[in-house]
Amino acid sequence: MHAFVFRLTPICLAISSAFAGFSVAEAEEERSLTLSPVVVTATRQAQNSFDLPIAIDVVEQKDIQDGQLQMNLSESLIRVPGLTAQSRTQQAQDPQISSRGFGSRSSFGVRGIRVYVDGIPLTMPDGQGQPGVVDLSAIKSIEVMRGPFSSLYGNSSGGVIQMFTEDAPATPVIGATTMFGSYNTKREILEAAGQLEGLEYSLNVSNFDSDGYRDHSKSNKQMATAKFKFNLTDDTKITTLVNWFDQYAQDPGGLTKADVANDRKGVVSATLNANTRVSRNHTQVGFNLEHIINANNSINLITYVGTRENNQILATNATGTNARSSQISREFYGSDLRWDNKGEIAGKQYNISLGMNYGKSTDARRDTNIQGTGLGPNRIEDNIVDNFDQYIQGKLSLTDNVDIHAGARHTKVTLKVDDSLTPPDNSGSVDYQKTTPVFGATWKVTPTFNLYANYGKGFETPTFIEAAYNSTAPSATPNLSLKPSESNNFEVGAKAYISDASLLTLSAFRITTQDELVVSANSNGRSVYANANNTRRYGTEISLDTRYDNNITTYFAYSFLDAKYSSSYVGNNGLIQSGNYIPGTYRNQLYGEVAWKYQPLGFYTALEGRYNSKVYVDDINSQNASSYTIFNARVGFEQNLAHWRFKEYIRLDNIFDREYIGAVRVNDTNLRFYEPATGRNYLVGISGQYQF
């Protein structure tokens, strides 16, 4: 690991020693910065991110929790280059998260990106992810991987997001946090953690309430996270992770451009007439067994099981006089078994991981017309998806300066529909399978400068949400004729320490995709997908992380993405011309942050800036949401008094009250593409923690 410590001048030493309770040793520790953290997502074994031929970033706990509401991943992931994380300003849907353009069209959940917590998948076998399962107040870090090596996690092309829960402290602690802010927003958190004779435990429960920025966007969510780690022996550990939530949220829907100009907080009459809303609950239990066989070998077994209930009320015509209840009862389970080995071959160090993965999810689905014409059920079926994958991944140090990374994964995914509402019988099934190889190399030019390159194939099957309908008509049936999307991914990059305390990363990529899954129609509560011909993406990602004297830090991240159709095809919107931009993708994104800490008073503050270029909302590029620049600020204090630790903070978002569109609904047939973002708003938080 590369760790750099700032030099302390005599003047700095004199100033720091003048402050009571703030020793020179503490000052030096604060100036110490590990700019390239150890990561496990990229290779499944702990590796220094600086030496990997992979674009991977770590979001630290302070960036997840300090001055944040901790409700959506979009709050903290906006700082990651190559990633788009858009808040939808409502809780009925997960935030829009995409990586290098993959997942930009998702209407529900997160697709095109695999999501994990402590190695346990939050993504179903078909590729549909539900990141809202995890309470971010229990998370210590998030690893975000982009590029070709993501395919080693299976049915995804864009990237991997892995969250890691907090470790239990040696001394038991209990704590509480309360937050309140604009739009009658309230959040309460209770936590307890500690260790007892071989058992490490962490407990976290929370409640969230808000009226929402827009009309008809009230929401409530209760969450609980429990983690128990049993240290059976020095070589064997079992971790149990339980996640639970129960949620209710109104869905304000999208607006046309004229609607936004008239009343950006408003909703269309169809939303009110149908009373669009969602209620859902989710329970998931995962087990992680880690066993060290000897100094060179270890095994890891992960198993999980869970249930999910989702009932969504949707308008099924333009006025909302017709409404439908879409109810899904899900049961899912899976496991992943992996063997890790490391050692030397002919004096060359290597490590290798070999594993297999199985997952299954069954959705008991019932769609019922509850208002207007055609009352009664129009869909009663089971949607069953399973996968069986095998993978291998390894690293070989050819020389002291050159590392080779390679791997492959064979994926088989089966979608099956068992229709109980007949006639006609819409039952059927489809299999998808593919082997996706990846290769990469790192050249350590100097101890502070690395170059890398990689290549891999991507494979992305339709999710059941994408295969749900073959049209937006009431008589729509499942669409099992969709083909999987396949891609070729190239990436080159550099990582360099340009000073003792400044890390610069740069990556450039080109991705070509065949049969990309695109939204062909989106209306009446239904999204219909089709296969486009060819698309291509190229872009660059840059980040610069710097620490200065006097506890001043800066961080900048820039992303350029040129995502276009590279061949014409005829969709539901008509002829989609080659050269049109893929909707939902931003050509330019910039994030910057300047922060300062004053340790004697426990004071910290930061100013954030964010720029997003315009984004097209449909395949024919007929309309777009304009570019925007916003600024946010946060200020806080921390106090340590005997066994107590207190925090107080205030956050101000969109300081200059800029009006902009926070998220878009791609290819909405009713032209309701736009979801306006919040105006100027605030959040105040107070927390206390007692250490026994």
Q: Residues with Cβ < 8 Å from 334, sequence gap 6 or more?
A: 121, 125, 303, 304, 357, 358, 359, 360
Q: Which helix (H) or strand (E) holds 190?
A: strand 185-196
SS3 of residue 618 by DSSP: coil
pLDDT in tens, 562-607: 999 999 988 767 788 999 999 999 999 999 999 999 999 999 999 9
527 and 638 share one domain: yes
17 and 94 both lie in a single domain: no
Return the pLDDT at 425: 86
Rounded distance between C-alpha atoms, residue 255 and residue 11, angstroms = 59
Both 99 and 4 in a single domain? no
Q: What are residue 313's DSSP bridge partners?
A: 277, 325
Average the pLDDT over 491-515 and give the result: 95
Chain segment 328-338, per-residue pLDDT in tens: 999 999 999 99
Q: Which of 232-246, 376-390, 516-530, 583-597 has the lowest mean pLDDT?
A: 516-530
Residue 105's pLDDT is 78
25 and 153 together in one domain = no
SS3 state of residue 467: coil
pLDDT at 519: 77
State whether residue 384 is helix, strand or coil: strand
Which is more confidently placed, 416 or 6? 416
Residue 26's pLDDT band (cuts 50, 70, 90): very low
Task: Identify the band that residue 34 occupies on the pLDDT scale cut at 50, 70 and 90.
Answer: low
Tell me: the pLDDT tens digits for 99-154?
Answer: 999 988 776 678 889 999 999 999 999 988 888 889 999 999 999 999 999 999 99
| Segment 255-267, tens digit of pLDDT | 999 999 999 999 9
Mean pLDDT computed over 236-252: 96
Percent of the chain, pLDDT > 90?
A: 78
Q: Is the pLDDT of residue 473 over 80?
A: no
Q: For position 304, what pLDDT does the model report?
A: 98
Residue 526 pLDDT exceeds 90: no
Task: Please tell me whether the peptide bond between 148 and the residue prior to it is cis, using omega within 30 degrees of 0.
Answer: no
Please tell me the distance from the alpha carbon of residue 328 to that of residue 318, in angstroms, as a whole number.
24
Tell me: pLDDT of 421 over 90: no
What's the domain range around 26? 1-33
More confident site: 12 or 632 = 632
Distance CA 105, CA 84 (A): 12
What pLDDT shows up at residue 470? Answer: 80
- Residue 631's pLDDT is what? 98
pLDDT of the residue at 670: 87
CB neighbours of residue 403 within 10 Å: 23
- Provide the domain count of the chain: 2
> Quick one: 345 and 453 in the same domain?
yes
Residue 49 sits in the same domain as residue 23: no
Among 25-39, 96-110, 261-275, the least confident range: 25-39
Per cent of the chain over pLDDT 70 is 94
Is the separation of the CB atoms in 634 and 649 below 8 Å? yes
Distance of CA 618 to the CA centre of its chain: 24
On whether both 1 and 74 belong to a single domain, the answer is no
pLDDT band at 426 (very low <50, low <70, confident <90, very high): confident
Give how far the C-alpha of residue 439 lies from the chain's centroid of Cα atoms, to the nearest Å.
25
Question: Is pLDDT at 555 greater than 70 in this prediction?
Answer: yes
**Shared domain check, 28 and 39:** no
CA distance 381 to 480: 14
Domain co-membership, 175 together with 216: yes
- pLDDT range class, residue 17, cuts 50, 70, 90: very low
Residues 278, 303, single domain; the answer is yes
What are the tens digits of pLDDT across the range 294-348? 999 999 999 999 999 999 999 988 899 999 999 999 999 999 999 999 999 989 9
Q: Which two tokens stand for residue 166?
A: 């907090």
- Mean residue pLDDT of the chain comes to 90
Same domain, 92 and 22: no
131/219 same-domain check: yes
CA-to-CA dists, residue 225 to 31, 198, 219, 222, 288, angstroms: 33, 20, 20, 11, 16
CATH, residue 379? 2.40.170.20
